Structures are given as structure tokens and as C-alpha cells.
Copies of this chain bind each other. A is one copy, B any other.
């Protein structure tokens, strides 16, 4: 199988779906003439024309609202928010409107839309080019939220998201775009939304993560494996709906749970995972549910040492695993 980067996988997924279904189109700032600031839509304007690779004015609320309206007419828009940090002007349409359309019309209308959002830090983006925004959308019934970590997952899940009839927030960690490469089959495949993936099986501790952090968890698992700690690494992949079963199954086996994410600790996705397990696997637990997350500061700062201090990394994860294993 050929090795691809995450950004290549993302681009291919859209390309294939746009070729398959002419109702699919991309829209957003710089997606047309420039092919996207991360080149996710490179060549789309040439192949599909202006109408399906639509450069919009600089106005996120309208990007989302117009995508929504087009979806009402039966199209399948893929609006892009250039950076997660700029999603806020659009959330009246996304959280306020899109998420409630199906429920609020008693099922008469639905919103087949995928909102692509490059997010995350570790790239010297400072306070306004690094934000994690997943928790806000995970708290919003009516939305689905996907955050893949690998090219394989990114492609298979993005294709499924495009075919899904609900509004899907598709979060692409910017640092994984070119850094993470992996095998991607030539032949077409889809991956199910809502299914976590056990990326490494193990018996002693379960670590639950997603996105960039998943890779640090895998590395840390290898580090502590050498010390005799056998870690099971669960990649959530879909953050909403959460795959409760896979997480609970794993904890029933290992009895110990570490949750790792880059997003701020308080009220993050990890809180929900912890709450689920503290309810549904309570009797199996043999140690405190531990979270290793971004601290509660407004995103990672610009200067290198400050950014490094914010970010969880392999060593920090390994340390948390050791502590939990020793409990």
C-alpha cells in the first residue's frame, strides 16, 4: 500500500466523493484559486470549476449559513473553516441552527454537510492559530464530531462523513497534516462513524486519546512496554457519538484508565469519557481515572518554551502511565 500524509488522504477523500456525486462541493476562504491554505483542495478549481470549488468572502457566519441553505436544497456542501480559531463567527449557524434542523423540523429536513476544520497546536500558531475546539461540538446534540489521527482513518472517515446525512464536524490536526504518514489502500473503502479503534492491545492500563496525541500515546506505550507495562491504546476517532462500548470493554480488561488530550482539561472530551467509565465500569476500576490534558490556559502560547510547556508529549504520557500502573 502506498504511504500517504494526512493532508493527502483528506484531499483524496474529497476528490473521490466529488467525482462520485456531483452534489458534493467545497466552499470557503481560499479553497478555489489557491487550493486551500493547506492545499487540501489543490486542483479542485481546475477539475470542478468555480461553482464546486467556491472561494467565499471572508465571513464565516455566511460560509456556514450558505452551506446550510444549499444543503436544504439537496446539495452536500463541505464548508471549510480556515483555522479552528475562526469558527466562532459561524457557530450561530452550526451550533444554533444546523444541529437543530432535523429535530426542529420533526425529521422533515436534514443537513448533509461536513464542516472541515484544521485545528490544534504544536506549530507555533500562538493563541489564535492553535485552538482545540472539539469539546464545544461534542456537547451539541445533532452534530457528529470526528477527529482522526492517521491518513487511513482520515480518508475512510471523511468519505463516510460526506455520505452521512447529518452535520459532521471533521477536525484535522494541523500538525499531523504532513508529519503523520501511513498506508492508505488504493481501492475505495469507508470507515464507520462512531467506532473507536484499539490501536494497540494491552493488559495493564487503558489509554484513551485521539488526534495528534494518539501518536504520543503509542510512543509512550512502547517506552513503558520496555519497563513491563502493557498498555492498551484506544483511538476514539469519532468524538461524538462516543464509542462507549469499546472504551468500557477496554477498562473492564485493564481496570485502569488514562485519558490524554491536547485540549484544555476542564470540560474537555476526557471529562465525558471519565464520567462514562465512572458510571458504567465503576466496579471494574482499580485506580483513579487520570487525565493528562492541556492545562486550563487559553491555548498554547507562541514562544517555543511556552508552547512546549503546554503540550502533552510522549515523556509526559509515559510518566502518567507509570504512575497509574504503580497504583
Contact = CB atoms under 8 A, between A and B. Distances in A.
B267 A271 contact: yes
Contacts of A271: 267, 271-272, 274-275
Nearest to A295: B141
Interface string A120-149: 000000011000000110111110000000
Contacts of A298: 99-100, 103-104, 140-142
Interface string A288-306: 1111000011110000000
A248 B290 CA distance: 16
B297 A141 contact: yes
Chief secondary structure at chain A's binding surface: helix
A242 B266 CA distance: 9
Nearest to A100: B298
Contacts of A128: 96
A285 to B, nearest CB: 7
B282 A141 contact: no
Given A89-B61, A267-B139, A272-B271, A289 B297 contact: no
Nearest to A277: B278
B127 A135 contact: no
B289 A275 contact: yes
A282 B288 contact: yes
Interface string A230-266: 0000000000101000000000000000000000101
B280 A278 contact: no
A299 B139 CA distance: 12
A182 to B, nearest CB: 29
Interface of A: 61, 85, 88-89, 91-92, 95-96, 99-100, 103-104, 127-128, 135-136, 138-142, 240, 242, 264, 266-272, 274-275, 277-280, 282-283, 285, 287-291, 296-299
5 contacts: A85-B96, A88-B96, A89-B89, A139-B266, A266-B272
